[in-house]
Amino acid sequence: MHKFANPARFMRLSNMFLPWIAGITVLLFALGLYYALVAAPEDYQMGSTYRIMFVHVPAAYMAQFGYGAIAVASAVGFIWKHPLADQAARAIGPVGAAFTALALITGSLWGKPMWGTYWIWDARLTSMLILFFVYLGYIAVWQTIEDHARAAKIAAIVAMVGLVNVIIIKFSVDWWNTLHQPASLMRMDGPTIGGDMLAALLLMIAAFNMFFFTIIIWRIQSLILRRRIRSLRMQLGGGRG
């Protein structure tokens, strides 16, 4: 595993795959938006407003996926002390926070016409808001602690503790009586939506996923470059940054 997580090898491989990943992202967004806004039929109850789902669900999914990825990368960094794992976790933080904010914004824009309110202290909504604050806390750890090893260790602990909230988000609609609808995609008995609606949703989730990977690769590359910049500055005698 260490062999494949080598920063130099990561830079080489990621530069090789990045154009392909970016190309697939554009293609998936084009297809997904076509299905979401044109091919998918109107809902008999919600009309066109339900199409908010095609950005809200992928954003909420990425918010949780991002946090799961941070927890896994943090655990790898914590146990095997691998710097690239820490960098990956650090790179995901702001991106995950942005997706969580987007899920909250689009959720509240969907809530107003459907529930008559932008916000309610419902278990799902509240746990998503907590996830946003956990992300902010995670980012703050990296921003405020200068010693990299110490920041990585504390950030890993924050990440693993915060994972409990992701489990609460997932099961909040089952454990509590919530205004938010139950899961319609990831269910034991299969999705409750079908046809072009399901195709649109899956395409948009795939597009968001590939977009996430593109951004994360750039951000990890940036963090690797900054380490190199720091060491060159030390070599030059400045010792800055």
Closest distance between other proteins and the C-beta of residue 79, in Å?
28
Q: Between residues 37 and 167, which has the closer beta carbon with respect to other proteins?
A: 37
Q: Between residues 78 and 110, which has the closer beta carbon with respect to other proteins?
A: 110
Tell me which residues touch other proteins (CB under 8 A). 47-49, 51-52, 55-56, 59, 95, 98-99, 101-102, 105-106, 109-110, 112-113, 211, 214-215, 218-219, 221-222, 225-226, 228-229, 232-233, 235-236
Q: Between residues 150 and 226, which has the closer beta carbon with respect to other proteins?
A: 226
Closest distance between other proteins and the C-beta of residue 66, in Å?
12
Which region, left, alpha or beta, applies to residue 239 given φ > 0 means left and ψ of -120 to 50 means alpha? left
Closest distance between other proteins and the C-beta of residue 52, in Å?
4
Q: Between residues 58 and 77, which has the closer beta carbon with respect to other proteins?
A: 58
DSSP string, the chain: -TTTT-HHHHHHHHHHHHHHHHHHHHHHHHHHHHIIIIISPPBTTTBTGGGGHHHHHHHHHHHHHHHHHHHHHHHHHHHH--HHHHHHHHHHHHHHHHHHHHHHHHHHHHHHHHHS-S----HHHHHHHHHHHHHHHHHHHHHH--SHHHHHHHHHHHHHHHHHHHHHHHHHHHHS--SSPPPSSS-TT--S--HHHHHHHHHHHHHHHHHHHHHHHHHHHHHHHHHHHHHHHHHHT----
Closest distance between other proteins and the C-beta of residue 2, in Å?
24
Q: Between residues 60 and 169, which has the closer beta carbon with respect to other proteins?
A: 60
Closest distance between other proteins and the C-beta of residue 21, in Å?
13
Residue whose structure tokens are 């395409």: 203
Q: Between residues 25 and 153, which has the closer beta carbon with respect to other proteins?
A: 25
Closest distance between other proteins and the C-beta of residue 224, in Å?
9
